[in-house]
Amino acid sequence: MVGWRVAAKICGLGTAHDVAVAARCGAQYVGFVFYGPSPRSISPETAKALAVPLPKSISPVAVLVNPNDDDLRKVTGAFPRLLIQLHGTEDLRRVAEIKGKINCPIIKAVSVETSYDVIQAKRYQEVADMLLFDAKVSDLNSLPGGNAVAFDWQLLAGGSWSVPWILSGGLTVENVADAVEVTGAQAVDVSSGVEDAPGFKNGDKIEEFLSVTQTL
């Protein structure tokens, strides 16, 4: 991590221009989505080409939803280095199984609506290298992430965790400072908050968001 305290992940990238903006403006992580129903989904081959120019200081993150072993092989085979973000309903056993199959750090996304969800998330500290807290959505047609929905940040206030964690869910340039102040997050994740429409990133919004996180 570079000199500032709060790291940033720009997720759902799909063009060389947007990846270059994220890298130039100070993102520590760039996320590529491999989930067909998402408007941000791209192929492993496309993501590999986008990740080639990245310096070693920036980590590519592969976002998968309930992947099978073949999905994992395709994605991990495309990258020399990456983190795997599991953003589905993978249980403790499946996360441990995946971690045993691949030589990549695992980020487990956890959907949060109540304090019970936060308590349940603690179990994943046993098997995941990092956690990511996102808002739980009740609409069955909603995507697992990237829905521009926030949750009650007070649920994470004062919490103690044995692994690093990332705050996600409805973050924007207008609210990210408050979100960090309330939760104490040391890393944040944004997707819809830097878009003009689902799947269409705005380079100016990426730059503005990262300029704020660098002051936190």
* Domain spans, the chain: 7-213
User: For residue 137, what pLDDT is reported?
Assistant: 81
Span 142-164, average pLDDT:
87
CATH 3.40.718.10 is the classification of domain 7-213:
no
User: For residue 148, what pLDDT is reported?
Assistant: 77
Task: For residues 103 and 99, give the distance between their C-alpha atoms in angstroms, rounded to a whole number.
Answer: 7
Rg (CA), the chain: 16
Answer whether residue 1 shows pLDDT above 50.
no
Cβ density class 158-188: b for 16+ within 10 Å, e for less: eeeeebbbbbbbbbbbeebeebbebbebebb
Answer whether residue 2 shows pLDDT above 50.
no
What is the pTM for the complete model shown?
0.94
Look at residues 112, 114, 183, 207 and name the one whose alpha carbon lies nearest to residue 150: 112
Answer whether residue 87 shows pLDDT above 80.
yes
- Cα 98 to Cα 35, 92, 166, distances in angstroms: 17, 10, 20
Catalytic residues: 11, 134
Answer whether residue 4 shows pLDDT above 70.
no
The residue type of 207 is E
Answer whether residue 149 shows pLDDT above 90.
no
Span 88-116, average pLDDT:
96
Q: Which tokens hold the place of 48? A: 């590999």
- Cα 140 to Cα 5, 136, 143, 152, 177, distances in angstroms: 36, 11, 8, 21, 31
Would you give the DSSP letter of residue 51? H
φ/ψ of 132, rounded to 5, equals -135, 125
Span 79-107, average pLDDT:
95
Asked which of 66-75, 77-86, 173-182 is least confident by mean pLDDT, the reply is: 77-86
